[in-house]
Structure 1
Amino acid sequence: MKFKAFVVAASAIVLTACSTSGSTNAGGSDSLVVGLTYAPKTLNPDYAYDPANYFIMDNIYSRLVNYGYDDEVHGDLARNWQKSADGLTYTFHLRSGVKWSDGKPLTSADVMWTAKSIIKEKGYGAAALAGVSAVTAPDAQTVVMKLAQPNSSFLDQLAQRYGWVVLPQHVFDGTDVTSNPANKKPVGSGPFVVTSFTPGSHVELKANPGYFGGAPKTKALSFRFFSSPDAAVTALQSHEIQFIANAPNYASVPTLKKAAGITVETAAATPPTDVWLGFNLARKPLNDLKVRTAIAQALDPGEINDLVYGGTKKVSGTVYDPSSRDYDASARQPAHDVAAANALLDQAGYPKKSGTRFSLTYTGFTASLAGAQQIGEVLKQQLAKVGIGLKVENYDFSIFADKIMQQHDFDITWSGGPHGPDPQTFANYVKTGGNRNAMRYSDPEVDRLFDEAAKSSDASVRSQDYRKIQQIVAKDLPRYTLFQWNYQFAYDSRYSGFWWQNTTGDLPADDYAQVTASG
């Protein structure tokens, strides 16, 4: 079990707050109201990237397999599976008697149709199906997936947080899947059933008594969407909500620790999560390795951690997450050295003129990993010491996919996301065409090593390949890893049973089925 928590008993005075939502569930012994500081546009994660979805989807839908909080792959709809001797065929045996929330049976035909549809539509979930050459359903409880080539990370690929969920064929087949009304009024097979969804405001769910994992202990679940972290904190202080899903801003934590009836716990992120800066390699002067190296030397992630997060994050100085498999501690980024950064910028042909060499724009977002705006302000101070001007912009995360991933309209951007437990997830960020490769970094050797590692059944070969990748990325610096993330979860002290508190470790993150309240 990876649970690492430091519990702070709450005492002192309750601060006043006001509601920002029309949600009807107000909390109670069998209900839970969760705050989220950005809102999904739809409730279907398979076809378009909508980051708010990932805080909600595992309560509505099911997957074939899923990561638990222990960072191990667990069966969800699949009760077990086998891999062929040549590594090209995976056979999944589904749980029997599973039904959709509209009462119709869930069968292998639904799994097959969903996978084929995502691949055909090139949906966001297609990354988790990369390499699948055929999907068949020989009987109602069996799904067979054939791969074009062996992939030692295939199960991890299916289980990843930014993966795909199984959709009902009878609801989506023959329709425009991107505009189907079920994207906002889902028919699912998860522990909860959506009863209403008001985009930008809230979503209401009720317990699914027929859920194959057992009836949830929470009978009514609501998600309220807030325009800012401060608004969510205010609602928690007044007990209008009982939990903030994407964690409060660090600045509010001292206040929450003193608030009556509120508990704050620090818990490890799962899967392992890194916060990083991406450089737009298509823009001058960031296409110059000397400039990127000098920027890295000018940065002091320890100071950023202290000023923005009170020193609560882990700064490793390496390109990859230390808690993930096949981590290479020697793949280090340039150490903080202002004098060396100034000298290197001079060598690169960017002398200071009136104290400034050139200016860049930092584009941050209000996201689940709080602190983007504050990080930008500290970066501005640090880069000023080497003569680089920095304009700080901050946007709502809802436009991240368009502005950063589609338009590539940034100089330096900020983001975070899963980096493990399987190292193949790093391909999302640094392999050519990776779905989180905002930098448009491309290195043929990195691509070859990722492919070789995926094909190999030899753990030592895979480890060598992944370590070589880390060394190359540390040298090329398409991005800069700031630190490894953890969460400071704040919740109503009456409640327990959250996923990070589960002793078996098999609950996925953001699953509320086991949450209960005392009194």
Structure 2
Amino acid sequence: MKKGSFLALMLAAVLAITTGCASTASPEPQAPANSGNAGETALPKEGGSLTIASESEPGNLNPHIWPTSSDTFVTHMIFDSLVIPDKELKMVGSLAEKWDVSKDGKTYTFHLQKNVKWHDGTPFTAKDVAFTFASLAKPEYDAGGYWRVSPVVGAEEVHEGKAQEVSGIKVIDDNTIEFTTTDKFAPFISGLFIGIVPEHLLKDVSPKEWAKHAFNRNPVGTGPFKFVKWETGQYIELAANKDYFKGAPKLDKIVARFGDTNTMLAAFINKEVDLAPVPIAEIPSVQSLDYADLKLSNDLSMYYIGFNALNEHFQDKKVRQALAHAVDKQSIVGSILGEYGKVSFGVFPSNHWSHNPDVPQYTYDPAKAEALLQEAGYAKNGKGIYEKNGKELVFTLEVPTGKTEREKTAALLKQNFEKIGVKMELRALDFPTLVTKLLPKNADGTQRKVTANDYQAYILGFGVEADPDEYRSYFGSKYMPPNGYNFVSYADPQVDQLLEQQVAEVDLEKRKNLIWEVGKKLAEDEIWIPLYEQQAPYVANKRLGGFDPDFRGPTFNAKDWSVNQ
């Protein structure tokens, strides 16, 4: 059966039975959803519950343990940050009411919101902020967030085990905290966009144990929703924080269900779920549902193939460039994404200032791809597969399940590569399992370095969440696991230098030029092969009001959601 026929069959089945059936996975049944357009004019009401769908189950609910989009789908509703980005990527206060910056640009004084409480009723203070960021500097912390605190005076000494306290973090009083950086650091405030965790619950727990601690599956935050329970493989239930300092959410409860895209879309059609991601191929059919609204999010992201640079084939830049020339990006976009996608040649998203429009472009050219492989010392064997020193150019692409477009893309990539004599196997796996390959652990649960045997290649998406400096942790040579997200093991002195220069440049135009040079060099090296940018479609039941997805994530404004019946 073709996947494109899935929704049509589901619609036929739904029409044959009574609509509005209750969820079997939610902890309690929902009221029947509106089957017409009346919800568009009905006034929002206080209270009620929603069930929302995610393509993957979270791996962690502590925002400082290698956070992924699957995690933030839930944690954005539980935790607050000092600052958050607005729709123009300008950082505005959240837990921080306001802040001052010293004349030399190195000291930041944050004045915190008063009368904020943790979900367990404990008052939130500046000590929680100090504890959170000081923890990221500890040598036993190995979950990807050190870069956020690394600019602060004393953080490096703590990280290297030479000091116990981060001297550049000072608690002035319960509602005031001060950070001092060693030098001017342009993206410092953006790096503070991460959930604050409670000192009173974690102060006696080593950051090395955070991933295994009960808090990771029973989190306590200051956000608009409180954690209630987590049924593994099924759902996470949240309840409204009626004492939320920004005002109580309109909803009483949100249930986040997990499953692949088709399963969750079927649940939406059956009115078991109020909000779900939509495969692009199903958009026309979804638009025919009289109780559904299609919402498109213009994410600041792109999809790409990532290579393990420790693999003997992928150590050679010409091999990566050859594979880039073998990818028919235009056909992939045309057949899978249509008007909802566009070809990408750079790692920075095209609708952000970090994007350099003049980067090397490896357009579809199979002949050039084969020529580059031959220049790299490869020749075709009797089976028509390129090999070097008796070793065939054969590799496995790890494909996380749950997103239809990504799975279809992987199948077309396999065809593209086989046309030029490169054999690629596809391995489907859930997203949490892929994370264990990209961010591997020792037997005792601590993070370790990536090896050539952990994986060979993968397909994922990535983009700007708050500031393009986030890419430093993915491409800086000192940020390989366990120190960051450079799981492709990329190391280039020029890129390292540019990444360090851009953080010290407070003039935006000059900083942009430095980041453009980073984009140009990464496009040349193709350790990531950019594939395409894609709009993210969601379908929402018309009973849901206030849903407004954007690059910050679909649940970022969940506090403002309501139901009209």
Matched residue SS, 1:252: helix
Q: Deviations over 1:173-209 (max 9, x none)?
A: 2135524433322222111112222232222222111
Matched residue SS, 1:171: helix
Contact 1:107–1:140 at 8 Å: present in 2 too? yes
Alignment of 1:365-444 (within 5 A): 365-366=400-401, 370-406=404-440, 407-408=450-451, 409-419=454-464, 422-434=467-479, 435-444=484-493
Contact 1:430–1:442 at 8 Å: present in 2 too? yes
Aligned counterparts of 2:394 and 2:242: Cα–Cα separation in 1: 58
Tell me the TM-score normalized by structure 1: 0.89
Match of 1:281 in 2: 309
State the percentage of identical aligned residues: 26
Alignment of 1:75-224 (within 5 A): 75-120=93-138, 121-133=141-153, 134-159=168-193, 164-176=194-206, 178=210, 179-224=212-257
Match of 2:359 in 1: 331
Aligned length: 496
Cα gap change, 1:22 to 1:151, in 2 (>3 Å) = same
Match of 1:300 in 2: 328
Aligned counterparts of 2:224 and 2:172: Cα–Cα separation in 1: 27
Aligned counterparts of 1:448 and 1:104: Cα–Cα separation in 2: 44
Match of 1:8 in 2: none
Q: Which runs of 5+ in 2 are unaligned?
A: 1-10, 34-44, 154-167, 387-392, 441-449
- What letter corresponds to residue 462 of structure 1 in structure 2? R
Cα gap change, 1:190 to 1:382, in 2 (>3 Å) = same
Aligned counterparts of 1:460 and 1:68: Cα–Cα separation in 2: 21
Which 10-residue stretch deviates more, 352-361 or 216-225? 352-361
Aligned counterparts of 1:394 and 1:130: Cα–Cα separation in 2: 36
Which 10-residue stretch deviates more, 303-312 or 209-218? 303-312
Q: Deviations over 1:233-264 (max 9, x none)?
A: 111001111012xx233333333223341222
- What letter corresponds to residue 450 of structure 1 in structure 2? L
Cα gap change, 1:463 to 1:22, in 2 (>3 Å) = closer
Matched residue SS, 2:517: helix
Contact 1:69–1:509 at 8 Å: present in 2 too? no
Cα gap change, 1:424 to 1:507, in 2 (>3 Å) = closer
- What letter corresponds to residue 364 of structure 1 in structure 2? V
Cα gap change, 1:55 to 1:370, in 2 (>3 Å) = farther
Shift of the alpha carbon at 1:416? 1.0
Shift of the alpha carbon at 1:62? 0.8
Aligned counterparts of 1:361 and 1:184: Cα–Cα separation in 2: 33
Which 10-residue stretch deviates more, 213-222 or 121-130? 121-130
Aligned counterparts of 1:25 and 1:428: Cα–Cα separation in 2: 43
Q: Deviations over 1:418-469 (max 9, x none)?
A: 2366332222322214433222111111111111111122233312211211
Match of 1:477 in 2: 526
Contact 2:134–2:149 at 8 Å: present in 1 too? no
Aligned counterparts of 2:351 and 2:115: Cα–Cα separation in 1: 38
Which 10-residue stretch deviates more, 489-498 or 422-431? 422-431
Cα gap change, 1:340 to 1:298, in 2 (>3 Å) = same
Match of 1:6 in 2: none
Which protein is bigger by CA-based radius of gyration?
2
- What letter corresponds to residue 363 of structure 1 in structure 2? E
Shift of the alpha carbon at 1:101? 1.5
Shift of the alpha carbon at 1:20? 5.6
Q: Deviations over 1:348-376 (max 9, x none)?
A: 22222232213221111125x65332211
Contact 1:88–1:149 at 8 Å: present in 2 too? yes
> Cα RMSD (Å) of the superposition?
2.5
Shift of the alpha carbon at 1:491? 1.2
Contact 1:25–1:220 at 8 Å: present in 2 too? no
Q: Which runs of 5+ in 1 are unaligned?
A: 1-11
Contact 1:62–1:189 at 8 Å: present in 2 too? yes
Shift of the alpha carbon at 1:277? 0.9
Cα gap change, 1:230 to 1:186, in 2 (>3 Å) = same
- What letter corresponds to residue 442 of structure 1 in structure 2? A
Cα gap change, 1:64 to 1:338, in 2 (>3 Å) = same
Contact 1:319–1:333 at 8 Å: present in 2 too? no
Cα gap change, 1:280 to 1:311, in 2 (>3 Å) = farther
Matched residue SS, 2:177: strand
Which 10-residue stretch deviates more, 451-460 or 306-315? 306-315
Contact 2:302–2:462 at 8 Å: present in 1 too? yes
Match of 2:563 in 1: 517
Cα gap change, 1:230 to 1:507, in 2 (>3 Å) = closer
Tell me the TM-score normalized by structure 2: 0.82
